[in-house]
Amino acid sequence: MDVIQTITQCCSFSSRRCISSLIDAFVPPPQIPTRRVVVTGIGLVTPLGVGVQSTWNALIAGHTGVRPLSTDDLPLSHHSSLDYLPSKVVACVPKYQLDSENDPNAKHAAKFSHFASLASAQALLDAAWHPQSPQDQNTTGVAIGAGMSSTEDMTQAGILASTNKLRKLSPFFIPRVLVNMAAGTVSMTHGLRGPNHATSTACATGAHSIGDAFRIIQRGDADVMVAGGAESCIDAVSIGGFCRLKALSTRYNDNPERASRPFDAGRDGFVLGEGAGVLILEELQHAVDRKAPRMYAEIRGYGMSGDAYHVTKPPPDGIGAVLAMERALGSAGISANQVAYVNAHATSTPIGDDIEQRAIGEVLGQWSEHAAVSSTKGATGHLLGAAGAVEAAFTALAVYHRLAPPTLNLEEADPPGVLGNLVRGKAQQIKSSGGGGPIAALSNSFGFGGTNASLCFASIGRME
């Protein structure tokens, strides 16, 4: 600081540029490490099932987690709302599978935190990473976000407030509604003292959390990150709110398994879902040195952008989506003809799916005729803050197995002919461009407020 102060005083008569140049000469900028990051573990809690293998098998087989909304899905105080909700289809995590899982934090944690805990425990087990030494605990961090926190708890608190019964408010109310509590709970449960981070960017939350964790490892601030997103807001207030936005499907109340239909001409809105997705991200050499059981894929790139356009609608030209994908590919050093698969954000809304198709076509150019594109929301519904993480997991699995999952209920593409290889009906083998190099895939997530994220995954040699 003495050198810098002296330079500044001596150059007080000159421009800021002159001062900056002299400071740079004496104090060179620090070298920021850029380390390779791989996915070594996955945990999933989804409407298709609890666990990676069961969820992936159901997805590839073309099963759906969408079903009719019932009073069992709503808190007791919301039962009377069922008849007044225009949308009566949801995608809930199978309760019978949750009952078999043991989570010591479930009693005092909100459901989204519970989901995050279960998915994180699965992912750590899958990665065979159980840090015990102070060094390992200090260099393992957590980045798990949520889009809407616990609307159920906030609704119940509002009922107590309106009836002058706040003395009955749970002492755990505040911790239950804090978005960062999922990350905090996972950190405390497993003794992880690395970076502890929680993102909340609506439906892009999961992707941003994974992307931020990727960069934390790249820069050397951690060796391992437990990263993802969680959400559970299937209650009358959330469903009613999205219905008021005209965002949810209402046309298929009597045929719920057909309600979530990304890219299809008959789509009329998304299906509200819940769950969690967690990835174990790890510095490549760290994974090699400890002989990690497997590497699903390498995260090569991460792109972010803002639409700067509208609260809920994407711009007609899809510029935000285009920028996010281009930045992901640019940072990855991946060309468009290496992209073999795109897991689209496509939620089954008339406007959003159309614009994303055109954006993918613009980014991939001629290769958009060949790259496989699907939206797994046809099977899971839209998991909001957890969507990007669950879909990032699906994308890593697609690269690992060289298999693109199908888009359910895609019968007539709308608009037609924009993308040449929309995966429908059944899963499809992923084929490389033939130009050599890794097989690459993009996972897109876009959120209200015009926030966009795209993750680029690439194939890597298996360790099995």
Predicted confidence (pLDDT) at residue 253 exceeds the cutoff of 50: yes
- Count H helices and E strands in the chain, helices first: 16, 16
Closest CA to 460 of 432, 442, 433, 440: 440
Per-residue pLDDT, averaged over 62-69, amounts to 97
Do 125 and 238 belong to one domain?
Answer: yes
**What pLDDT is attached to residue 14?**
47
Q: What is the pLDDT of residues 413-426, one digit of tens each?
A: 999 999 999 999 89
As beta bridge partners, residue 444 has: 454
Q: Quick one: DSSP state of residue 372?
A: E
pLDDT at position 76 over 90: no
pLDDT level of residue 75 (50, 70, 90 thresholds): confident
Instruction: Using alpha carbons, list the distances in angstroms from residue 345 to 66, 349, 356, 360.
Output: 17, 11, 8, 11
Report the C-alpha gap between 303 and 217 in whole angstroms: 16
The answer to whether residue 109 scores a pLDDT higher than 80 is yes
Q: pLDDT for 366-403, tens place per residue?
A: 999 999 999 999 999 999 999 999 999 999 999 999 99
pLDDT digits (tens, 9 = 90+) for 29-41: 666 668 999 999 9
Judgement on whether residues 8 and 58 belong to the same structural domain of the protein: no
User: DSSP assignment of 89-106, as one string?
Assistant: EEEPPPHHHHTT---TTT
In a domain, 320, yes or no: yes
> What pLDDT is attached to residue 225?
99
Do residues 195 and 248 share a domain? yes
Mean pLDDT of 24-50: 83
Q: Could you tell me if residue 249 is inside a domain?
A: yes
Q: What is the DSSP string of 22-74?
A: HHHHHSPPPPPP---EEEEEEEEEETTEESHHHHHHHHHTT----EE--GGGS
The pLDDT of residue 51 is 97
Domain count, the chain: 2
Contact 119, 97 (CB under 8 A): no
pLDDT value of residue 108: 79
Complete edge-to-edge strand list for the sheet that includes strand 272-273: 67-68, 89-91, 272-273
150 in a domain, yes or no? yes
Token digits for 387?
């969507």
For residues 212 and 228, membership in a common domain is answered with yes
Within-domain flag for 265: yes
Distance between CA 308 and CA 317 in Å, rounded? 12
Residue-wise pLDDT for 184-227, tens only, equals: 999 999 999 999 999 999 999 999 999 999 999 999 999 999 99
> 64, 148, 394, 91: which is closest to 271 by C-alpha?
91
Pairing state between β 440-447 and 339-343 = parallel
pLDDT at 236: 93
| pLDDT higher than 70, residue 5 | no
Known catalytic residues?
Answer: 203, 345, 382
> 187 and 286 in one domain?
yes
Q: Are residues 20 and 146 in the same domain?
A: no
CATH number at residue 100: 3.40.47.10
| Average pLDDT of the residues in 129-158 | 96
Phi, psi (rounded to 5 degrees) for 70: -130, 170
| Residue located via tokens 């906030």 | 154
| 212 and 291 in a common domain | yes
pLDDT (mean) for 82-105 = 84
Q: Which residues of 186-202 are buried (b: 16+ CB within 10 A; e: fewer)?
A: bbebbebbbbbbbbbbb
66 vs 270: CA distance, rounded Å: 11
463 part of a folded domain: no
Between 65 and 102, the higher pLDDT residue: 65
Q: Which two tokens stand for residue 374?
A: 């699907």
The residue segments making up the domain with residue 110 are 37-458
On whether residue 450 sits in a domain, the answer given is yes
